[in-house]
Amino acid sequence: MELSVTKVRAFSRARQVLGSMASVRRAVMSRLDFRGTGAVGGTLSSASTRPGLGLACAVCPLAHRGVYHGLATPRRLVHARAAVSSSTDQQQQQDAEEVQLVLRTSDESEELLKIRHSSSHILAQAVQNLFPNAQVTIGPWTDMGFYYDFDLEEPFTDADLKKIRKEMIRIIKKRLPMWEEEVSVEEARGRIEENSEPYKLEILESILERDPSAAITIWHTGERGDKDHWWDLCGGPHVENTGKINPKGLALENVSGAYWRGDENKQMLQRVYGTAWETSEELQAYKKMKQEAKKRDHRKLGAQLNLFSIQQEGAGGGLVFWHPKGAMVRNQIEEHWRGVHLASGYDLVYTPHIANIDLWKTSGHLDFYGENMFQGIKIDEDEYQLRPMNCPFHVMMYKNQPHSYRELPLRWAELGTVYRYERSGALHGLFRVRGFTQDDAHIFCLPSQVTDEIEGVLNLTENLLSAYGFTEYEINLSTRPEKYVGSDEIWEMSESALKEALSRKGWDYIVDDGGGAFYGPKIDVKIKDAIGRKWQCSTIQVDFNLPERFDMEYVDEENNRPRPIMIHRAIFGSVERFMGVLIESYAGLFPLWLAPTQARIVCVNDSVNEYAKECLDLFKSYGLRVDMAGGESLGKLVRNAEVQKIPLVFVVGNNEVETRTLSVRSRHQGDLGAMGAEDIARAMNQAVVEKSKY
């Protein structure tokens, strides 16, 4: 099925503003080192916490044909209003398609970013007003809210949160000015020590360790000498005064544990989460979205539908056990992935799960990524290492024989399982695990081929993701950072190639200036799910580092031996995480082509079993996943199929036997009436082949 982009436009802010915001966010987050402070039992953000992700959106409408033709409704280019849960999936869909309200992330609105960041300061001030012994640590904004971590011996209660919010509103209503002051290192250290804030002192020292000449700024709330004056070591930005925050758009959500600096060997802190919006209507829509997200939690649905489990007690955390139904869905995803890649000119490869540690020294992973790798394995006199990434293996295969420029590009794809050390507190269902399968591929090409290859990857990305209903994308292009490897010429060539490929696609994007890796520029793609949440998904990364480290080369037209260009790319990111996103986006109700059980034949009484079995054999001859049930009341049999989220139910009674038909009930369309088994099988097969929505 051929896909095309019919409409591309940016979100609510101008590109220049958003690009600037991305730079501000990256600078502030890097300066205060907010990353790596994962919560234990807290709310996991649906989107990556990496700063500066792009905010342009591409919409690709799919043709939904076959047995469920006409059910798909084109989505508007806004954040979907949260679906209000109801007793039926049809009502849920109608609710989701009502008048839509834009729920902007902090990256999409500079004003909301300031409101949320300022709310975190007001939260910390309110806590210290009510709990003078509380020590403050960090308090950043998040995609749709904020949090602050506190060191306090007594745990916060729900009643405490109500008191804290009341105190926050008092501070807001005083319209206290928020202002910035740049101070010397000695002045900052002295003020922090005077307030007995050891965590702030550690933050100050970490800033200086990374950049001894860094500007040190303090943000004040209120004027000096005022009883409501409060300050924090911070890089901003903030609102002009506390009155800019709407109390009716402010909520404190929950409290969780969070290790200081994300290190389980350090102090356990209390993280208070909140959210802030410009209007009460936005807050209510956000709350509805959160309620819907809770119902869609892939951990809950995974257990309910018997898709997967994580055997914490017997096998350890972060290791996924795929049950038969989940394995069936995963197999459909992987087979689809393989088919698309083969059709796009890729070769499939398989590589080992471990390698001699010398490989990881050469690649640089041991030096730069060692903390995320498991300990080595002694084999004879050598040390081996579980792979955290697949790329060095593909490089070794490239180096196994000489290559001519005539052979390039080479496109090698692998569903390769990798293993990474994650602290127990960071593990989260399928989203954060210790063993996962990357849909990895590497392209080795000539400099002149980069643009075409990137465009090919973008086409493949659209082709794959749209088959799962993901047709709204946010695109971010990250460019050369201050410290980098490779020549200026090759960086400029690669960045131009990425921009040209995006231009050919007609996709708008935001440039995250300086946000690239030290070894090459990249494109990041976020997808938007059924309830408007964004998920970091695809990455396309140019790499100048590994070809140099491994002395890769090819023979060019003049018999010289230059380095090839290496492109890393993953479309899903990882099969596990993508599966988690799918479960939540579909609310467990997979489309027909993915559903582990596509249909169930329900027998009204035992006398119809023979005909039902005949129909079952027919469906199986088409390769369809259909089973049969009976022996209970019709209502219970149908209800069981609904609970298991089976797309189609075929009821067989005496009348159906006589007319040689089946009464068809669709999860999405309701009662479709009587149809012949052969006609149903053909229509289902067509829907599966076309990857129809239903």
Q: Annotated catalytic sites, by residue?
A: 391, 420, 438, 440, 442, 522, 568
Q: How far is Cα of residue 596 from the mean position of the Cα atoms in its chain? A: 24
For 520-624, where are the alpha helices, taking DSSP H only? 545-549, 575-586, 609-621
Q: Can you say whether the dihedral through the CA atoms of 310, 316, 319, 325 is positive or negative?
A: negative
Query: On the CB side of 689, how many CA atoms lie within 13 Å of its CA?
Result: 10
Per-residue burial over 552-566, b if 16 or more Cβ lie within 10 Å, else e, is bbbeeeeeeeebbbb
Residue at 561: amino acid letter: R
Pairing, β 347-348 against β 410-419: parallel
Are 51 and 26 in contact by the 8 Å Cβ rule? The answer is: yes
- Closest among 260, 343, 299, 567 to 433, alpha carbons compared: 299
Name 539's Cβ contacts closer than 8 Å, sequence gap at least 6. 522, 523, 524, 525, 568, 569, 570, 573
CA–CA dist 560, 556 (Å, integer): 5
Asked, as a colleague might, if the bond just before 237 is cis with ω within 30 of 0, I would say: yes
Distances, alpha carbon 536 to alpha carbons 47, 48, 52, 53, 173, in Å? 5, 5, 12, 9, 37
Q: List, edge to edge, every strand of the sheet that includes 135-136.
A: 39-40, 250-259, 268-276, 146-151, 135-136
Distances, alpha carbon 491 to alpha carbons 59, 264, 508, 555, in Å? 30, 39, 21, 22
Pairing, β 599-603 against β 250-259: unpaired
Distances, alpha carbon 255 to alpha carbons 28, 123, 623, in Å? 24, 13, 49
Structure tokens at 244: 């800019």
Grouping H, G, I as helix, E, B as strand and the rest as coil, residue 371 is helix
CA dihedral 617, 621, 626, 628 (to 10 degrees): 10
Structure tokens at 483: 């410290």
Q: List, edge to edge, every strand of the sheet that includes 377-379.
A: 354-356, 382-386, 377-379
